[in-house]
Amino acid sequence: MKNNKKMSFFELMNAFEVSGFSFHAFGSVRENGKKVATFYKGDTLKQETREKLKSAIPNVFFLGSGCTYAPEIRSSLVCIPNK
């Protein structure tokens, strides 16, 4: 992402493809009713994939999630802030 401009959808999907990240769900991260980030939910990320995503999307951050009925099943959330 150059000059802090918002990354286009095409650029984002290209960064995901190059890093090897595939997602099966997406949505919004909200704080006090305001949309602060968009998340993409995929399988657990390897460190190498995280590094590739971080180099392509500098302001990306990562969260983890798990099922209450099966805590051993983990997913990763790749989050991209709106600003």
- Categorize the per-residue pLDDT at 4 as very low, low, confident or very high, splitting at 50, 70 and 90: low
Domain boundaries, the chain: 9-81
CA within 13 Å, CB half, 2: 1
pLDDT at 3 over 70: no
Cβ neighbors of 76 (< 8 A, separation 6 or more) are 41, 42, 43, 44, 45, 62, 63, 64, 65
Report pLDDT digits (tens) over 12-50. 999 999 999 989 999 998 999 999 999 999 887 889 999
Mean pLDDT for the chain overall: 85
SS (H, E, C) 28-64: EEEECCEEEEEEEEEECCCHHHHHHHHHHCCCCEEEE
In 3D space, the residue among 38, 49, 59 whose CA is nearest the CA of residue 16 turns out to be 49
